[in-house]
Amino acid sequence: MSVSKPLPHDAAALHVTGQARYVDDIPTPRGTLHLAFGLSQIARGRITAMDLAQVRSSPGVVAVLTANDLPFDNDVSPSLHDEPLLAKGEVFYVGQPVFLVVARSHRAARVAARRAEIRYAEEEALLTVDAALAANSRFEDGPRIYHKGDAEAAIAGSAHVIEDSFEIGGQEHFYLEGQAALAMPQEDGGMLVNSSTQHPTEIQHKVAEAIGLPMHAVRVEIRRMGGGFGGKESQGNALAVACAIAARQTGKCCKMRYDRDDDMTITGKRHAFRISYRAGFEAGGRITGVSFTHLVDCGWAQDLSLPVADRAMLHSDNAYAIPAIRIESHRLKTNLQSATAYRGFGGPQGMVGIERVMDHAAHVLQIDPVELRLRNYYDAPSDAPAEGGAAPRSATVPRGISEKMKDNSTPYGMEVTDFELHEITAQLLESSDYARRRRDISEWNADNDRLKRGIAFSPVKFGISFTLTHLNQAGALVHVYQDGSIHLNHGGTEMGQGLFQKVAQVAASRFGVDLNRVKITATDTAKVPNTSATAASSGSDLNGMAVKAACDTIRDRMAAHLGEVYQQPASAVVFQGDRVRIAETEITFETAAMMCYTGRISLSATGFYKTPALDWDRIKGKGRPFFYFAYGAAVTEVIVDRLTGENRILRTDILHDAGASLNPALDIGQVEGAYVQGAGWLTTEELKWDGSGRLRTHAPSTYKIPACSDRPDVFNVALYDGQNREDTIYRSKAVGEPPFMLGISAWLALSHAVGAFGAGYPHLNAPATAEEIWRRAERIQDGV
Amino acid sequence: MSTKMHIKLTVNGKNEEFLAEPRELLIYTLRERLNITGPHIGCETSHCGACTVTIGGKSVKACTMFVAQANGAEITTIEGIGSPDDLHPLQTAFKEHHGLQCGYCTPGMITRATKLLEENPDPTEEEIRFGMAGNLCRCTGYQNIVKSIKAAAAEMNAAKEAAE
């Protein structure tokens, strides 16, 4: 069977030879026009005059469009209809598109876009969460509050109470391929759009609205992205819509690619949070209650901020059974880029909150941070094996009632029935030699004044499913041709995660054929309609199941027909080893396909899947938003320099739960990449805006993502030997986002190292840049 | 501004001759004039390395070099390093050792790695990490990229020894 094999990425041979095509590599017809936006230069105000004469007369310019020139809907929002493609008289952030230049070259368009003279009546911009809170500038009427028990009462009666407030910065996606789209007008007024998007159906929807046609007139195709990470879930809408409108008006093929600086200036990023907490602990380390307040910087438009902020609340427990909890979440509207989806979708911020509480409490209670965490873990399922892999079981098997059992329900009332972390933690602590290294580090730190080392463990429990329940559906289209070759299409998009290969492995396994019979094709809204974004780590869970359904439909038809021909029951027909066996007879798969074709059997089928068992009320904050949880844990060791704040990751050990992996090589790649990206978020990646709301870190020269030389010196990554207890595709688990949060261990290790400079708690903010580390080390050494 | 220069280049062994504005950037020459789209545009400020090519034996970021500066030069891009039917050992290694995910950085990464292994045929892991620090990847976390380069170096050194 193809599933579970560590096969290379499906397009690896094309990538290594430079032949893999991205949107910007697609050959375009002669006369293709290029687009650029003219951007707002202020953070908030009314446009009082706009002189575009210099733009129009700039060499190579074909057309210049403003909001008044848009024939139909002027909106590119994925949610609230609050995000005009081109500003309607008012601007809300520095970088907001105000007008659109259509020119004969990319450069001509960009040069012209800088020649506008726009006058504004400036208004006071809200550039911080404090300013937004003071002005009551927010999405939704007031804060969302989820709670379980009476947190304040529980905290008040505790032996130890800790409280603090800290900042968590946002994060630029820095997909290596910037946003890009290409629109080709069709003969009947329709539009063919190639877009670097995680969400082709939404591109189709927004383009159709913008050119005043039904969705059937717009076809969106995407073979691959050069990275997405959530940044291409909604942020590609503007480019695709602009291209389609310009293509309609000029009759020419139109292409738009953001230059990197424009990309970083215009598009949304990960939500920055301020988290305040108050938590109570018993003397023995058991948490009694915790109260969180999240101030979420959503930027100027709603985009996906509500579900992002919800998911942060839903991960405020992480791995811990907390008897009483209250989470208050303010979704604040500021005059910055509209924060958007980013790997983890708010989960990482929520998780950093509770991990900070655990870190702080371990310091105050003088308990080893791992021991403290273990005492607060959710209970393992009652049938969990003492060692080794977990057997699948139904989520509804009742557990024995024991006084020792914790209340294993989450703050939102979902029972945790698949908690793998006891076993994962035990294995990882042993393989990483945590206890000995922690002792060694204490000794080493005692002998060193300027350099200190730190080590930290952190677990991940991440909920899998879109919290907007209706998004948990997927479709597929499979054809078997008369020569035995198989054409595969589904609603998921490929952004490097290896989805296409995993799903092809599923298809090959269902037909029992070699993988090279299966042709992977571009995602296409004309083949599979009404798809959800490839997001929430759900790509292989949803699309794998849809493809399985389609393959099984065809296989069952083939089995019935071949059984009839050979006078055997359909159950006697076996698809295996690239052949088909019917009782004693064995034929090739292509012979089987040809026989079915001549026997007038349909060899094409659609497949559909919807995730079962979900039931979620986001206003009440109660129900089962997730089908299951994915788990993982990491131990990171770092070293810091007190005089400069300079720091390095010395060693990382990870054990991650991908269920019964569909492809261990691709999954390990996801884990490694996610960890490094997560550690980057919490260490070097710092977004800075100036006092006028202008993003100053708008290029890799000033925004530091991890480089090859920043990788941990020792990096041990393994997959946990288990399988999903829920009935997912071959019992695998989603792996796109969960390992991102393993990077939290790097931030905690820095906290441990900085703490070694004095007796106090370091109170690190995130990102813990060299400057932040230096500041905290100075303070702690001074006994502040 | 419109004074055009007569430019001659040898790209992947093929002679090219054309008139171009001196300020035309080499990456546009390659991608738009010559339809060589393996080198990608990532940051346009020479930080990410997606556009890395080899010019006169050196790794160069084609996004910040004027075509006029490259006049007369011999240029090798990923397309000149190997083809799907005839892969360079580095290309095989990146494929087999999963040294890529989205693939956007891969052409520049491999092009840079060919020079790294010429400069230092048997690099340590540390030397690979610092030798490749000018090429960014946002997907892999670099572990498999380093692994791929090590594997290719071993393969190439073994082939060299066998030939000697």
Known catalytic membership, residue A737: yes
Check whether A401 has a pLDDT greater than 50: no
**Residues 166-205 (A) with a CB less than 8 A from some CB of B:** 173-178
Q: Nearest CB to B98: which of A178, A669, A715?
A: A669
pLDDT of residue A396: 36
- Band (pLDDT 50/70/90 cuts) for residue A404 is low
Q: Is the pLDDT at A387 greater than 80, yes or no?
A: no
**Cβ of A190: how many Cβ atoms within 10 Å?**
17
pLDDT at position B84:
86
Pair type for strands A473-480 and A604-610: antiparallel
Q: What is the pLDDT of residues A735-768, one digit of tens each?
A: 999 999 999 999 999 999 999 999 999 999 999 9
Q: Which of these is catalytic: A737, A771, A772, A778?
A: A737
Percent of chain A with pLDDT over 90: 96
Q: Do B140 and A227 touch (CB under 8 A)?
A: no
Quick check: A413 pLDDT over 80? yes
Phi-psi region of A783 (alpha: psi -120 to 50; beta: other; left: phi over 0): left
Mean pLDDT, range A638-644, rounded to an integer = 97
Are B95 and A8 a contacting pair at CB < 8 A? yes
* Beta-carbon contacts of residue A221 (< 8 Å; ≥ 6 apart): A192, A193, A194, A200, A522, A523, A524, A525
Residues 6+ apart with CB under 8 A from A265: A39, A94, A95, A337, A695, A698
Per-residue pLDDT at A403? 42
pLDDT at residue A385, as a whole number: 52
CB contact (8 A) between residue A178 and residue B78: no
Instruction: State the pLDDT at residue A406.
Output: 85
Burial class of residue A693 (count of CB atoms within 10 Å of its CB; 0-12, 13-18, 19+):
buried
Mean pLDDT of A59-72: 97
Checking if the pLDDT of A390 tops 80, the result is no
> In the structure encoding, which two tokens stand for residue A329, read together?
């979440």
Please choose, from the candidates A765, A673, A699, A23, the residue with its C-alpha nearest in 3D space to the C-alpha of residue A343: A673
pLDDT band (50, 70, 90) for residue B2: low
| Among A residues 355-394, those touching chain B with beta carbons less than 8 Å apart | none
B83 contact residues in A (CB cutoff 8 A): 17
pTM, full prediction: 0.97
**Minimal-distance CA residue of chain B relative to A703:** B47
Q: What is the ipTM of this complex?
A: 0.97
pLDDT value at residue A457: 98
Residue A398: pLDDT above 50?
no
Between strands A180-185 and A473-480, the pairing is unpaired
Q: Which of A8, A19, A672 sits opposite B140 (nearest CB)?
A: A672
- Gap from A717 CA to chain B (nearest CA, Å): 10
Amino acid identity of A574? V
**pLDDT at residue number A386:** 44
pLDDT digits (tens, 9 = 90+) for A333-375: 999 999 999 999 999 999 999 999 999 999 999 999 999 999 9
Token digits for A263?
């990309």
Interacting residues of A329 by C-beta distance below 8 A, sequence separation 6+: A143, A144, A145, A146, A293, A294, A296, A309, A310, A312, A313
pLDDT over 60 at A384, yes or no: no
Sign of the C-alpha dihedral, residues A380, A382, A387, A389?
negative
Backbone phi and psi for residue B51, each to the nearest 5 degrees, phi listed first = -100, 15
Q: What is the mean pLDDT of chain A?
A: 96
- The confidence band for B164, taking pLDDT boundaries of 50, 70 and 90, is confident
Average pLDDT over residues A626-653: 98
Mean pLDDT (whole number) for A716-726: 97
- Determine the pLDDT at residue A87: 98
pLDDT at A2: 85
Proportion of chain A above pLDDT 70, given as a percent: 97
